[in-house]
Chains A and B, each alone.
Chain A
Amino acid sequence: MEKPELNNNQTDAIIEVKNLQIKFGKQEVLKDVTLNLYKGENLVVLGKSGSGKSVLIKCIVNLLTFKNGTIKVFGDDILLMNRNEISSMRKKIGFLFQSGALYDSMTVKENIEFPLRRIKSELNEKEIDEKVKEVLENVGLIDSINKMPSQLSGGMRKRISLARTIVIDPLIMLYDEPTTGLDPITANEISELIKNIQEKYNTASIIITHDIHCARTTADRLVMLREGEIYLEGNLKQFEESKDEMIMSFFK
């Protein structure tokens, strides 16, 4: 089998997860996860529901803390960072929440402005306005600009949430199931958008997904999580040709 054409040079890793272990009480969610994300690549993470995919990326931005293992982002160990360093690390990372996490009390416009005003405080009102419109056009929802989240459908919320994530031009994107709950056409558009973001800004992304079309469109490399460990790692071809039952059930 051919080796994936990847820059496996250690210095190119911008996220390094090493021997990560996560427990909630007695439940061991992640046992021993070692994983790198390299510059400019899209890494797709597959795994059954409850296998700890969301937990993994929440650890990367320090929303969940852990005792065993190390995570380095841009070469710095996040356990050794102080509050300011964590905050400035987060400014460079876009995080798409699985549930969307739109602010219920704010309009779509205010939702998207929120991270923009706080992370890119150098922008003036006109630039903010343009930026908001640009990302809304990217996700095809410019008409909803003045709606409240409660007036949107589930798929629309997801897309607004994606717009809110990409508006700050992050260097790293962490997508938690970007296409779940969308119709196939919109799902494909979102997958294309993810691919475009990578090509345009050279962002590195971790994409958690169950949607195999999304994986096909976006993935440079894939990993499968199972029972708290990395079960398989490889490129798309290796996954599609795998004879493993678990992998095949994802790619059928």
Chain B
Amino acid sequence: MPITIALMGNPNSGKTTLFNALTGANQHVGNWPGVTVERKEGQTRHGNQVYTVVDLPGTYSLGAFSEDEVVAREFILTGNPDVVINVVDATNIERNLYLTTQLLEMGAKVVVALNMVDEAEARQISVDEKALSRRLGIPVIPTVASKRKGIDELMEAATATIRAPLNGHVRLSYGESIDGKIAELEDLLKNGDLAYPPGWLALKLLEGDEYLRKVVDVSLKLQGSDEFTRFWDEMAVQAEDFQLEIVDSRYKFVGDVTKDVVRRPEVAVQTTTDKVDRVLTHKYWGMPIFAVIMFIVFQLTFAIGQDLLGRWMATGVEYAGGLLESLLVTVNAPQWLIDFAENGVVGGVGAVIEFVPLIVILYMLMGFLEDSGYMARAAYVMDNTMRAVGLQGKTFISMIVGFGCNVPGVMATRTLESKKDRMIAILINPFMSCGAKIPIYLVFIAAFFPSYGGLVLFSVYALGILVAFLMGKIFSKTLFKGETSHFIMELPPYRKPTLGNVLRNMWDNVSGFLTRAGTTIFAVVSLLWVLAVLPVGVEPYGAESILGRIGLLIAPIFEPAGFGNWQAAVGLFSGIAAKEAVVAILGMVYAGVEEGMELVMAIREVFTPLTAISFMVMTLLYTPCAATLGTIKKETGSAKWALFSATYTFAIAWVLAVLVFQVGRLLGFS
């Protein structure tokens, strides 16, 4: 008779590692009958006995929640394993013992492999395995599966358990009334000739296990017994309470046991977290603290990204441009191609790339905040503010996503249950300044406010949030009315940010940015370049070109905002294709004006500090890019809302830009 060992444990408890350590190459993989769950089986030897080891699916519980759970418990009850080795993660024993408790309820012979004791020790978690064994009434063997430690002892204990009769393991009480009901039901089921132990079956039925309920119903009906149905009809009212009571009894049991056998060093950390949170999420201080932190982030971005790395990048782009040009000249490339390379690629796309260092630093710092756990606190603070102005707080989650890109930002609104909240969240998302707009601000900052970069950028973002709040408030009072739903935000524990995470975050952003530069922006620039040099015979990049004429047509709209020149108009227009294109197009049309003229210099000639600000306000708030509009159309299911979004944002942007310019002029700024 072969001896069968079943391996059972939570996901990530090290079950697979233990299975491999036990069976080595002696394993084969199949499927459990009727389901798609993988079945792994292997052989191991201890002493001169061969054992079959069956690796059951990793689960947290043994209900009927998933196929995995059903497969595992069916095997334990009807597959007749001689012993169950329950792999328990010593670093997370509270979560793991819930399953152990359920194994004990099944009346299986169980040996606990207390795994990852090395990791527990490293984290100063001490588990008294002897006390644990006493409390559970079963053997507990410490193991380090990944180092094959404790395997022999484990097999020794398993063998002894198989040989000995089943006794001594703890029996849970679920309270007097439930225990009574279990006994009553058990009696009924005893005569039912069912494949499961009646005591366990009674417990599971009271717990509301629908899978077993069906089995029992069918089976007893076939046997012509209606006592069960009668019992059940009497019971029906209380069923839900029983379920909670039973689960709670297990939970209490686990709590009791672990309280005695596990020691953790975390208490000090917990109270500090709490203290820090009380400050960072403070009703009045929370918001100013968030503002100060963001301000520092922006300041640092300029200090490191511009002053340290920025020049190096600009020189690099210039150098690469020169190289490309001389290469084209050497291979006798046609003049138009050289021109395109110089003004379109280097002047345009290059102008965007020059700002990569700043973006790198900004995202690195943001990644740092995110990784540390602070961002959740910031979101909580914002959430409170949003609720205070009558907006659904969860909207802020989609807004945070919108800071990266409005497309996923709009999509993130799906988590809002009410239609009202969702529509508002969609409509205000474009006011969150997305990553693609950053180069626009950077150009103007470099031209006019080089020493106030942090402050300007901070103000731009803050203005975006402010307008979003305001519009949200207006929408919730006019367009959409209704209840807001409630949810509770989780503040994760603080963590020391890991360099790996921060770098990965940064790379994701930068590679995304560069990919866009090489594809979308390149395409937009190429297209507009053609328009800028045609028709043949006119001065390229001049007002007479097709592009120039289009620009002249639109430009008067922006006259009241102070930047009524055709280049700015074309730039803004191209931004509807993709926001990065604004800088690229400005770079192209200005680069063509005067040989070798840098974009920043050109901007300085055409704009003033005041018009620079009004232009930035315009770009912050005006019509979102085509991809975002497409997403709005898709998410709202109507082109009307996309059109509405396109026009109302433009109107607001225009009004505010005009306001900035006109009021600024009245106050004597230029």
Do A and B come from the same complex?
no
B: residues with CB less than 8 A from A are: none
A: residues with CB less than 8 A from B are: none
